[in-house]
Amino acid sequence: MSRYAGWVLIAVLGLVVGVGLSSLRAFPTEDMVARATCAECHDVHGAIEFAEAPVQSQVWILGDVPEATYFMVADLFPYATEETGTSISLDDLLARYGVTEWERVALESLDGGLVVLAREYVTEHSLLVPYVEGIRFMDRNQHESTWLKGVRWIVVEGAETPLAIAREATSLGRLLLADRTTVVAEGAEAMYRSELDGALYRGLYAHVYTGARVREALGEAWEAEAFRAVDARGRETEFPREDLARAVIATVNGRPSLVLPDEGRARWVIDLVSLDPSAPLEAAAASTD
C-alpha cells in the first residue's frame, strides 16, 4: 500500500468514527431520555408538556350561535379515552353550544379548506373525529372531497334574522357565509427591559377579527353619505361613510359587533342590532341636486 493510499484509509476511518460519535449526541440513548425533564424537551423541541393532551388546538364556533365561543380539541376528545371509533356528530356538537335550529353550516380549516352543508344533508353520519392536527370532518354520505382535515372554524347560519343591514333582515352567520375578511385592530407597542441583558426590547401586538365587510353587506346602500348603527340597548351612533371603509361586522365579546379597525374600541358598536343609511337614498340624492 502506498503512503497516499494509507493516508486516504486513515481519513475515511476517522470520518466514520466521527460520524458515529456525533450520532451518539444527535440521537440520545434510552438512559439520556429517561434523565431528560419535560421542560428540557419543551425548550428543545416545543413539545407539549400535558401528559393527557396530545394537541391543544382550538375550534371556534361563530355566526348564529347564542354566544360565539371555542373549544379545545383535547377537551372534546381526551387523549386518555381515545380509541377506534371515537367521534361526535356535527349536530350533537352544535347542540352542546345551544344551536338547535339552523339552515347551513360551514367548516373551515387553517390551511384554507372550506366545506358548506345545508341542514338537510347533515345526518348522524356527519361526524367529527380525532385527527393529528385537531379534528377532521367525515361523512360517509358525502363525497370524500368534503372530508375536511384540521377544522378550525365552524360558522353557523341560523333560521332567524336578528340583524338589519340596509333595512334588510339578515344574520351574522348569513353575512359571514356570503363574504368575510380578517382585519387587524387594537394594535399597540410593548416595551420590556430584559432581565437577561438589561436592554430595552420593543414589539408590536394586536388582535385579529374575522368578519363580514360592511361595504359588501350594505350593497347599494353604501352610496349613502352617512349611516346609523343601533346596539341591543337602543343606543344610536352616527358614522360618515369614510369611517366605515374598512369596517367589518364581527364577533366581539361573543356578540355581533361593528368593528372599526382604525379606531379605538370606544367607537365600536358592541352587540349590533342594525346598520342603516341615516336617510333614504332618494332623499340623499335629492339633497345633492
Q: What are residue 60's DSSP bridge partners?
A: 70, 153
Residue 117 pLDDT class (50, 70, 90 cuts):
very high
Angle at 92 between CA 87 and CA 96, to 5 degrees: 115
For residues 212 and 194, the answer to whether their CB atoms sit within 8 Å is no
pLDDT, position 19: 43
Ramachandran class of 94: left when φ > 0, alpha when ψ lies in -120 to 50, beta otherwise: alpha
pLDDT value at 114 more than 60: yes
For residues 36 and 28, the answer to whether their CB atoms sit within 8 Å is yes
Q: Which pLDDT tens digit goes with each residue over 3-34?
A: 655 554 555 455 444 444 444 333 344 444 44
Mean pLDDT within 222-249: 96
Cell triple for 281: 337614498
Angle at 55 between CA 52 and CA 56, to 5 degrees: 100
Residue 94 pLDDT class (50, 70, 90 cuts):
very high
Share of the chain above pLDDT 90, in %: 61
pLDDT, position 27: 39
pLDDT, position 197: 95
pLDDT, position 64: 94
pLDDT, position 280: 58
pLDDT, position 131: 80
Q: What are residue 228's DSSP bridge partners?
A: 238, 276
Strands of the 69-72 sheet, one edge to the other: 69-72, 58-63, 151-158, 102-109, 114-118
Q: Which uninterrupted H or E stretch holds 71?
A: strand 69-72
DSSP code, position 269: B
- CA dist 164 and 161 (Å) reads 8
**Taking Cα atoms as reference points, which of 234, 250, 229 lies closest to residue 181?**
250
Q: Give the start-to-end residue ranges of the domains of the chain.
A: 9-45, 58-158, 163-288
Return mean pLDDT, the chain.
82
Superfamily (CATH H level) for 58-158: Oxidoreductase, molybdopterin-binding domain (3.90.420.10)
pLDDT, position 37: 52
